[in-house]
Amino acid sequence: MSTRYLGFDVGGTKITGILSDSNGKIFKRKQVKTRKFLGPDALVDQIYTLSEQFDGYEEISVIFPAPISLDGRVLSAPNLRGWRNVNLKRKLTEKFGREVYLDNDATAQAISVKIFDKGKSYSNFIYVVNGTGIGGGIFINNKIYRGHNGYAGELGHMVVLANGPVCGCGRRGCIEALASGSAITRRVIENIKEVRNSTFLSSIPMNRLTTEDIFSGKKLGDPFSTLIIDEAVYYFSLFLSNIINIFDPEAIFLGGGVFKNGNEFINDIKQASFHDMGIYQRKVPIYKINDKTIDLAPVALAIYEKEEQNSN
């Protein structure tokens, strides 16, 4: 029987646990709401309690929505309260009484692209996830690139508009503040006059507005939805062309809620980022990942880390 993995994906709203094997076959899945205001110890307890609903696994891993240092510390977690320089890896290892693999969620998703998705065929690629925020992962010569401290791949905080809108990181004009799912909806909601003038947008309750609605608006020819999506395409393409200039990747992979139903969005981005390259124009394939690749990210992390340990 192949090795079985128990993986947890900690998000700002929910924690998902899955039991899977090394082929990515998922046997069981359980979800709870994140107790995000109670601090690190309560969260570790919550993961442990959830783990009691699973058995028959050999490895445990946790992925977390904030940068993680090489020794397992969380400097700060914007979506959760009470996280300042917490050694989460140590807390998890103590609680479980065994090694628990830990990494940032986007980094683990990039590893999952390599292990379970089209990334298998590429040695050098960039992964970008666009959902509530924008994150990423960098594969160089078949290895995830973590940087000096472990914080590499925070692609969402690349500034593409000097003095642009304020980002969660405290700076202005980061790509996350301009083209993430939450930025796209925020830019609509902020312009209440435009919403009132639009037959399409004024029919949607603004507290339930999704990026999917705005994509539909563009498809139906709504001028303000079109403007907002076209702006997001413009900045996202600028961002991708910067990434291509830095890394010269073989391929780029896109994941996350914004791309789920945005095939036209991806096509527009492909076209625009190609033209943004100026005289260095070249075709870099851009692919959308499978949904399951994100689900399997904690499992991919454990598989990758185990292989790394065995090869050292």
Return residues touching Zn ion (CB under 5 A). 157, 167, 169, 171, 174
Q: Which is nearer to Zn ion, 157 or 260 (CB)?
A: 157
CB of 279 to Zn ion, least distance (A): 30
Q: Which is nearer to Zn ion, 39 or 165 (CB)?
A: 165
CB of 62 to Zn ion, least distance (A): 24
Q: Which is nearer to Zn ion, 77 or 299 (CB)?
A: 77
CB of 131 to Zn ion, least distance (A): 15
Q: Which is nearer to Zn ion, 160 or 174 (CB)?
A: 174
Contact 123/307 with Cβ under 8 angstroms? no
Compute the distance between CA of residue 7 and CA of residue 17 in angstroms, rounded to an integer.
6
Compute the distance between CA of residue 206 and CA of residue 184 in angstroms, rounded to an integer.
13
Which residue has 């009470």 as its token pair? Answer: 82
CB of 256 to Zn ion, least distance (A): 16
CB of 176 to Zn ion, least distance (A): 5
Those residues whose C-beta lies under 8 Å from the C-beta of residue 301, and which sit 6 or more positions away, are: 7, 61, 63, 101, 103, 107, 108, 111, 112
Q: Which is nearer to Zn ion, 118 or 157 (CB)?
A: 157
